[in-house]
């Protein structure tokens, strides 16, 4: 097609020293069921950092280029795509390839950009939206009136999970690594944010009368938090791990798991197939999209870097200084 360039820029990783550079290659053609997107912005995720280090290899059928979420404009559609048209504003969960100014995504993993959001904000949505929805709603069956504890509340996932829980009628508690972040998370709707560097979240929740009363725990930390999660969970509580930043190994007393009849589960988004992700997108459109449109749910964008500064953007993410999402702008 005349409007599709022959080449694109993308972020490449040197296999020897893991440094980043900008290279050029052919623009991919959308296969059946895919959309070609002219990318305006791409979201950073910790999975990108692990992939760059060689610790999180992409699936065999995925693009080797980093980047799992983008926002931009539909440039072309593959056969069988009926709900999207050239020129539509779109954000998408990609199968890799997001760190590029042109990429493809399955049409079933695309969402319309809410009218009130710019492209940087929209690029902050897909990965966090699907992760939160799948773990809190599909796996843990979140109900209105329940109490939820979100670890890593200042992360891209955490900052979106708080307003999602509030929009669905839940009460939110969270942990973060500084007093400033804690106060900002309370401003976003958390009833109490706990500085895990200066406070013991189990002790704080106990003093608040919430020991054995937390219905759902979303945990990116693991390590020494695992036992404390079990200790504060309510009978019939659900604990879901989506990362193990504090370590994947811990010595744990599982006795309370039996007495409280707890569910201990976990997931990663990338390992799930397109059909599973399509169901998540459909349910998000039905249950959450109106809240995105009216501002009840909004992402936090910490900083925007140009594509050429992808390495600096990842270094910034590694430092842990950010709150919310870090975005690359094309």
- Indicate whether 206 pLDDT > 90: yes
pLDDT of residue 3: 80
Q: Is the pTM of this model over 0.75?
A: yes
- Indicate whether 2 pLDDT > 80: no
| Domains of the chain, start order | 7-125+299-329 (3.90.180.10), 129-266 (3.40.50.720)
In three-state form (DSSP H/G/I as H, E/B as E, the rest C), the secondary structure along the chain is CCCCCCEEEEEEECCCCCCEEEEEEECCCCCCCEEEEEEEEEECCHHHHHHHCCCCCCCCCCCCCCCCEEEEEEEEECCCCCCCCCCCEEEEECCCCCCECEEEEEHHHEEECCCCCCHHHHHCCHHHHHHHHHHHHHHCCCCCCCEEEECCCCCHHHHHHHHHHHHCCCEEEEEECCHHHHHHHHHCCCCEEEECCCCCHHHHHHHCCCCCCEEEEEECCCCCHHHHHHHHEEEEEEEEECCCCCCCCCCCCCHHHHHHCCEEEECCCCCCCHHHHHHHHHHHHHHCHHHHHHCCCCCCEEEEEEHHHHHHHHHHHHHCCCCCEEEEEC
Give the residue-averaged pLDDT of 98-124.
Answer: 98
- Indicate whether 310 pLDDT > 60: yes
pLDDT of residue 211: 97
Residue-wise pLDDT for 218-240, tens only, equals 999 999 999 999 999 999 999 99
pLDDT of residue 1: 55
Residue-wise pLDDT for 3-15, tens only, equals 899 999 999 999 9
């Amino acid at each position: 097609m005349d409007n599709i360039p022959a080449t694109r820029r993308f972020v490449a990783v040197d296999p020897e020293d893991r440094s980043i550079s900008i290279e050029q290659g052919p623009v991919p053609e959308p296969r059946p069921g895919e959309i070609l997107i002219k990318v305006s912005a791409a979201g950073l995720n910790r999975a990108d950092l692990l992939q760059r280090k060689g610790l999180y290899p992409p699936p065999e059928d995925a693009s080797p280029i980093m980047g799992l979420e983008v926002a931009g404009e539909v440039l072309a559609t593959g056969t069988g795509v009926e709900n999207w048209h050239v020129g539509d504003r779109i954000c998408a969960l990609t199968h890799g390839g997001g760190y590029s100014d042109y990429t493809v995504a399955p049409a079933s993993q695309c969402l319309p950009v809410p009218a009130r959001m710019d492209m940087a904000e929209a690029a902050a949505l897909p990965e966090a939206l699907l992760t939160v929805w799948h773990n809190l709603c599909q796996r843990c069956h979140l109900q209105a009136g329940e109490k939820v504890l979100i670890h890593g509340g200042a992360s891209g996932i955490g900052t979106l999970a708080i307003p999602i829980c509030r929009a669905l009628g839940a009460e939110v508690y969270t942990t973060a690594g500084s007093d400033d972040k804690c106060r900002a998370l309370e401003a976003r709707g958390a009833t109490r944010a706990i500085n895990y560097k200066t406070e013991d979240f189990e002790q704080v929740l106990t003093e608040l009368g919430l020991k054995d009363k937390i219905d759902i725990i979303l945990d990116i930390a693991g390590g020494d938090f695992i036992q404390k999660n079990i200790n504060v969970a309510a009978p019939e509580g659900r604990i879901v791990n989506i990362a193990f930043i504090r370590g994947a190994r811990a010595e744990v007393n599982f006795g309370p798991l039996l007495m409280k009849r707890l569910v201990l589960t976990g997931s990663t988004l990338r390992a799930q197939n397109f059909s599973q992700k399509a169901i998540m997108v459909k349910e998000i459109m039905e249950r959450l999209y109106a809240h995105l449109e009216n501002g009840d749910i909004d992402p936090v964008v910490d900083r925007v870097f140009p594509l050429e500064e992808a390495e600096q953007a990842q270094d910034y993410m590694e430092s842990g200084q950010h709150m919310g999402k870090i975005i690359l702008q094309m």
